[in-house]
């Protein structure tokens, strides 16, 4: 099929920053894009060929949108699965497949999948609601501390909480959830796997993630991870195994823990471009966004090697600020070598909302990490 400068239409469900960064590559290749998002101010709106406002969880909205395009993908998992199933049954190419998404969309189902397929993961319990979890704790069947996760609608640290005492449960919603054993770990790692329908598969280098202690979201992504080669090889092998079991097409970000004794266990996955791969825009021969496009269109995959060491710093809303966004001191970092800011186009900031990121590339990973700290301490996202 001729995708370039043609009548071909690619549909993207979700119009956030991941879609916006994907659109950079559709414009580079002159591929027509249609985007569906519930917000009139979605970041994608400025860069797609046609923008549709609508509810991603509504069957009719997603189904009717899908009927207008030739290939359908998504940049967020919270979409109407039944509509995707019907579209695929009617012959539309949907990547990643609804079959894959069904195993990932609910974190309880995702954890059961790891157990059934002998993928190493933390021990856990599944609960229909918070009340049944509390009963389990009171019966001494679930012991603290543990990590509480809602099974659906969680994102960027929302829907995840460390429970150390019963009072920590007070503010949580009464929804389906999992209670996961807390794993003592050295590092949080991630590997992005890229796969096309023809079966060509590549992995990006293992990255290391440093988290904000309060917001429970990634603060820095470091590539390559500062770990032993044997551990990195083990992480890539496990990521490839996870990809094979899910039989996914497109990108699959596999988040993992490196335990104190250097075992690798899988935390969770995302079937789309991912925060842990943003460094690749400047740092890799082929960015994760371009490779997602190549994969879903069954084109040859690009080189996933890094050109240079890269660190990504997330720009998030400062605590105590909500309203029209102001990026304070951004002009200062523009004069620094190897530093590239990406502003997502969200007009309203709030505490810990992801508003952009900055990539630092440098031949010396230690120097890149030092500059990343300076970037973090210089820019403030306020209102």
pLDDT digits (tens, 9 = 90+) for 238-292: 999 999 999 999 999 999 999 999 999 999 999 999 999 999 999 999 999 999 9
Instruction: Classify domain 123-181 at the CATH topology level.
Output: Dna Ligase; domain 1 (3.30.1490)
Q: Is 183 annotated as a binding residue?
A: yes
Measured in residues, the chain has a length of 383
| Domain range list for the chain | 9-94, 123-181, 185-382
Average pLDDT over the chain reads: 95
pLDDT of the residue at 157: 60
**C-alpha closest to that of 267 among 366, 117, 120, 162:** 120
Tell me, what's the pLDDT at 153?
76
Give the CATH architecture of domain 185-382: 2-Layer Sandwich (3.30)
Residue owning tokens 């969770």: 268
pLDDT in tens, 79-127: 999 999 999 999 999 999 999 999 999 999 999 999 999 999 999 999 9
Is 182 annotated among the ligand-binding residues?
Answer: yes
User: Is 181 known to sit in a ligand binding site?
Assistant: yes
Is 188 annotated as belonging to a binding site?
yes
Count of beta carbons in the 10 Å neighbourhood of residue 305: 12
Query: Mapping DSSP to helix (H, G, I), strand (E, B) and coil, where does residue 295 land?
Result: helix
282 is in an annotated binding site: no
Helix (H) or strand (E) holding 265: strand 264-270
Q: What digits encode the pLDDT tens for the residues 125-152?
A: 999 999 899 989 888 888 889 999 999 8
Q: Is 149 marked as binding a ligand? A: yes
What pLDDT, in 10s, does the model give residues 194-253? 999 999 999 999 999 998 776 667 889 999 999 999 999 999 999 999 999 999 999 999
> Is 107 assigned to a binding site?
yes
What's the pLDDT at 156? 57
Please tell me the distance from the alpha carbon of residue 290 to that of residue 303, in angstroms, as a whole number: 11
What would the CATH number be for the domain defined by 9-94? 3.40.50.20
Helix (H, G, I), strand (E, B) or coil at 114: helix
The dihedral through the CA atoms of 41, 43, 46, 49 has a sign that is negative
């Amino acid at each position: 099929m001729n995708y370039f400068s043609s009548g071909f239409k690619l549909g993207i469900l979700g119009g956030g920053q991941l879609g916006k960064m994907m659109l950079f590559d559709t414009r580079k290749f002159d591929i027509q894009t249609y985007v569906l998002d519930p917000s009139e101010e979605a970041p994608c709106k400025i860069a797609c060929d046609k923008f549709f406002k609508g509810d991603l969880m509504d069957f009719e909205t997603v189904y009717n949108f899908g009927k207008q395009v030739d290939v359908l993908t998504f940049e967020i998992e919270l979409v109407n699965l039944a509509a995707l199933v019907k579209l695929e049954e009617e012959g539309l190419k949907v990547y990643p497949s609804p079959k894959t998404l069904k195993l990932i969309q609910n974190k309880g189902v995702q954890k059961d999948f790891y157990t059934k397929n002998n993928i190493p993961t933390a021990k856990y319990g599944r609960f229909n609601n918070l009340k049944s979890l509390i009963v389990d704790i009171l019966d001494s069947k679930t012991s603290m501390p543990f990590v509480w996760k809602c099974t659906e609608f969680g994102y960027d640290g929302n829907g995840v909480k460390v429970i150390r005492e019963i009072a920590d449960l007070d503010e949580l919603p009464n929804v389906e959830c999992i209670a996961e054993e807390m794993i003592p770990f050295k590092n949080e790692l991630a590997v992005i796997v890229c796969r096309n329908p023809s079966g060509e598969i590549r992995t990006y280098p293992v990255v290391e993630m440093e988290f904000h202690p309060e917001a429970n979201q990634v603060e820095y992504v470091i590539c390559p991870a500062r770990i032993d080669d044997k551990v990195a090889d083990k992480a890539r092998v496990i990521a490839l195994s996870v990809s094979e079991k899910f039989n996914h097409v497109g990108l699959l970000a596999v988040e993992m823990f490196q335990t104190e004794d250097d075992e690798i266990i899988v935390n969770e996955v995302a079937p789309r471009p991912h925060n842990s791969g943003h460094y690749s825009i400047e740092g890799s021969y082929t960015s994760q966004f371009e490779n997602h496009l190549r994969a879903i269109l069954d084109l040859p995959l690009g080189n996933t090697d890094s050109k240079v060491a890269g660190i990504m710093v997330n720009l998030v809303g400062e605590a105590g600020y909500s309203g029209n966004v102001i990026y304070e001191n951004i002009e200062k970092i523009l004069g620094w070598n190897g530093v590239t800011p990406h502003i997502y186009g969200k007009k309203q900031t709030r505490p810990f909302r992801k508003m952009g990121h900055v990539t630092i590339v440098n031949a010396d990973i230690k120097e890149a990490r030092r500059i990343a700290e300076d970037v973090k301490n210089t820019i403030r996202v306020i209102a």
